[in-house]
């Protein structure tokens, strides 16, 4: 489930408020990101370390499920963490 359907704004105790609904969507998206990361972290790191365009393209063709928002989010967070730790690639 990528995004909750706005028509499904009901729960057992009654209608959801906008804030509750938005919080629920955030929790669901976070859980999906965590699950995807747990299942694909090694592949995402391998992809993130590639330098050549052709290698990256071939890798994504072999692992097309990585061409998604979750991988992009993971790689951005990984880059930020490396920058905070002041880790620089070897030239």
* Strands (DSSP E) found in 13-54: 14-15
User: Would you state the pLDDT for residue 35?
Assistant: 96
Length reported for the chain: 91
Pairwise CA distance, residues 69 & 71, whole Å: 5
Q: What's the pTM value of the predicted model, to 2 decimals?
A: 0.70
* Under 8 Å between Cβ of 34 and 56: no
pLDDT, tens digit, 9 for 90 and up, residues 41-84: 999 999 999 999 999 999 999 999 999 999 999 999 999 999 99
Pairwise CA distance, residues 51 & 60, whole Å: 13
Domains of the chain: 10-84 (1.20.58.610)
pLDDT, tens digit, 9 for 90 and up, residues 2-27: 444 444 555 555 666 788 888 888 99
**Cβ neighbours around 75 below 10 Å, total:** 15
């Amino acid at each position: 489930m990528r995004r909750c359907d706005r028509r499904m704004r009901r729960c057992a105790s009654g209608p959801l408020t906008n804030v509750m609904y938005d919080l629920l969507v955030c929790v669901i998206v976070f859980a999906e990101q965590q699950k995807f990361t747990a299942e694909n972290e090694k592949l995402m790191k391998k992809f993130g370390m590639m330098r050549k365009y052709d290698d990256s393209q071939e890798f994504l063709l072999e692992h097309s499920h990585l061409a998604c928002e979750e991988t992009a989010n993971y790689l951005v967070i990984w880059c930020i963490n490396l920058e905070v730790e002041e880790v620089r690639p070897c030239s």
